[in-house]
Amino acid sequence: MEDYVGMAKMNRPSSAIAGGIAGTAILSLLMILLEVQTRSQVHIFDAIARFVGLPNNILIGFVLFVAAGVFAWPLLFIALEPYIPRGPDPAARGIVFAFVLWLAFVIAGRGSIGWPLIIVYAGLTLLAHLAYGFTLGAVYASLREENVADTA
């Protein structure tokens, strides 16, 4: 089945993963902006590696960042979607979902940055996560087979 713009419709997991790819691309760009604004004091990928017990392994941090953004969070999103407030719009639900992800990230991933850089860190990571969630939900909604009105 194709929609009015000629894009093929996908099943829910495939459309969520496509949303995860788009969201991760935007999240990555905003995290690069954070690294630039903080003069590379945050070390996002190192923070992720430290979180899983492998400090100073930036490659592992990068792989986990991409795997979570493209596969884990989108599949968790579609599993939890009916229970997330702000429905039936998946983009609005994606923002709520990403806010919860941000809370965990901002608490666990800040590393050793201190005051007043923590304000820049919290603000930019919140913006990045909300953009991720909105993009995840919007792409998911535009590519999935069923209509939003069917699931509301």
85-140 pLDDT, tens per residue?
987 899 999 999 999 999 988 887 666 677 777 888 888 889 999 999 999 999 99
Q: Alpha-carbon torsion 51, 54, 55, 60, what sign?
A: negative
Task: Write the DSSP string, the chain.
Answer: -B-TTSPBPB-HHHHHHHHHHHHHHHHHHHHHHHHHHTTS-S-HHHHHHHHTT-TT-HHHHHHHHHHIIIIIHHHHHHHHGGGSSS-S-HHHHHHHHHHHHHHHHHHHS-TT--TTHHHHHHHHHHHHHHHHHHHHHHHHHHHBSS-HHHH-
Segment of 2-6, 40-44, 67-71 carrying the highest mean pLDDT: 67-71
Decide if 141 contacts 22 (C-beta within 8 A): no
pLDDT, tens digit, for every residue of 33-54?
888 877 777 777 887 887 788 8
Distances (CA, A) of 14 to 28, 60, 80, 103, 145: 21, 25, 16, 27, 10
Amino acid at 81: E
81-93: b (≥16 Cβ within 10 Å) or e? beebeeeeebbbb
Whether residue 152 is predicted with pLDDT greater than 50 in this model: the reply is no
Full-model pTM: 0.84
Whether residue 6 is predicted with pLDDT greater than 80 in this model: the reply is no
pLDDT for the residue numbered 58: 86
pLDDT for the residue numbered 63: 94
Mean pLDDT of the 15-41 span: 89
Distances (CA, A) of 40 to 3, 112, 123: 43, 12, 16
Whether residue 13 is predicted with pLDDT greater than 80 in this model: the reply is yes
